[in-house]
Amino acid sequence: MRREVKRRTGARVGRRVDVNDRSLVAGLAKLEAGFEYVQRDVSDLKTELRSLRSEVRADFRLLFGTILTMSAGMVTLIAKAFGAF
């Protein structure tokens, strides 16, 4: 019954693959080489992401300090305008 279903659907029936097949070995070598490039690119992306995070942290601290300074200055100006000093 299984073989009939496989034949009707076009599934491969009992095909054996020779491990020493040259095309299989060549294809595997290409995949391994491509995978090495992918691993290197991912590690480069991780490094860039770490440096970007540190830059964002530094920029956030600078921006937050600027906002606090401006807020303190605005409070001082408003207080002077209403005669608090």
pLDDT band with cut points at 50, 70 and 90 for residue 13: low
Looking at the predicted structure, is the pLDDT value of residue 85 above 80? no
d(CA 10, CA 4): 10
13, 7 Cβ separation under 8 angstroms: yes
The yes-or-no verdict on residue 19 having pLDDT over 70 is no
What's the rounded Cα separation, in Å, for the pair 85 and 78?
10
Across the range 3-21, mean pLDDT stands at 61
**Does 32 have pLDDT greater than 60?**
yes
3-state secondary structure (DSSP) of residue 21: coil
Reported as a single tens digit per residue, the pLDDT across 35-84 is 999 999 999 999 999 999 989 988 999 999 999 999 999 999 999 999 87
The residue type found at 11 is A
Round the CA-based radius of gyration of the chain to a whole number and report it: 33
Q: Which uninterrupted H or E stretch holds 80? A: helix 22-81
